[in-house]
A = this chain, B = another copy of it.
Amino acid sequence: MATAKFIYDTADRCPDLYYACKFFAYDPYIFIEARGKKYLIMSDLEIDRAKKTAKGCRVLSYSKFEEIAGKKKNKPSQMDVVDTILKKIGARTLLVPPTASFSMVDGLRRRHYKVIAGEIPFYPQRLQKTPEEKRELIKAQRAVFDAMALAERTLRACRIRKNCLYYKGVILTSEALREMINLELMRYGFITPEGTIVACGKDTVDPHNFGKGPLRPHRAIIVDIFPKSVGSLFWGDATRTFCVGKAPDKLKKLYNTVQAGQEYALKHIRAGVNGRTIHEGIHRIFENNGFKTGEIGGRMQGFFHSTGHGVGLEIHEAPTRIGPVDQILKTGMCVTVEPGLYYKDIGGVRIEDLVFVTKTGCEILAKYPKRLEIL
């Protein structure tokens, strides 16, 4: 008997499940691919919606299998029902995602199923984007940069007074600018379940600090926007660093160095290249400019995150780490290019674009200017 693919998860936790059937629900459901046929086993609550919207699947009723299992045993367990389904479909060797729950796998093994771990992602082909998927990512990046333009316009409209930025007469805070960005994205059909970074000054030194309080002039302001399309479930991701008013020389140098690092990466990324050499190349540029990486005064400083990660149905997907690890890039992968430098005394700078890897180089999926100072 051939190996069947088996997923029992939520589409939210397991993007491969959504990829396989194009049906989204928040509750877990069962997907089986056996002998070239795809099956969804749905609860009474979801079965009609699944029949209407799932792609290329035969949709079967969980409660009917529960009834069948109930004829053999009073109050059948979930595992009894799964067993009934697998017997009906005729699957004994199961390929499951390596993220599958081990208690489910232990249960299957106790019933003498052979369970094999698939890869991450379970459908590796989803990393190499089709033209249609690429279009969805371009749409997401355009929404990101529409929101970025709004942020930049707002910063430009500010007046500097007493070390604060005043927008329409009111002190502009990280929270207020973040809300404007998020509302703008929502209008385009995008949500920001993982938040939006609008960090200023010392908050920028920690790349994952979301930022709070008044935005300040003459300091770094990092705006990192990564929304998800409600329609396609694809994500966008981009970052710009701004400074309202004249920037200190040290910050300017930091910015130019990060930009040089990003340009190096954009020039060298193409199918067949090892991500490690890109990452190391950026490190070399940073060090040649005098910017070292490591623990300084009990705190990580310099360039201590990866150069990038894959983006698609997940905000962080394979290749999860273009960094100090071997990772050969392939045609059609969509990855962020986001070097950054962070120092306690200067602040942080990060510049990020999303690119589509080709045989000969890479295409930036939507473009937006890179300029530090807003004067």
Residues of A within 8 A of B (CB): 13, 25-27, 44-49, 96, 98-106, 115, 117, 179, 182-183, 186-187, 191-195, 206-209, 230, 299-300, 304-305, 315-316
Contacts and interface: CB of A to CB of B under 8 A. Distances in A.
A99 B195 CA distance: 26
B193 A186 contact: no
Given A182-B186, A193-B191, A48 B299 contact: yes
Nearest to A182: B186
A304 to B, nearest CB: 4
Determine how many copies of this chain the complex contains: 2
B26 A304 contact: no
A26 B208 CA distance: 10
17 contacts: A26-B316, A45-B300, A46-B208, A47-B300, A49-B208, A98-B103, A99-B101, A100-B101, A101-B102, A102-B105, A103-B117, A179-B186, A183-B186, A191-B191, A191-B192, A193-B193, A195-B230
A23 to B, nearest CB: 11
A49 B209 contact: yes
Contact of A106 (B99, B117, B191): B117
Interchain residue pairs A-B with the least CB separation, the first 5: A98-B103, A102-B102, A193-B193, A102-B105, A44-B304
Nearest to A45: B305
A303 B106 CA distance: 35
A24 to B, nearest CB: 10
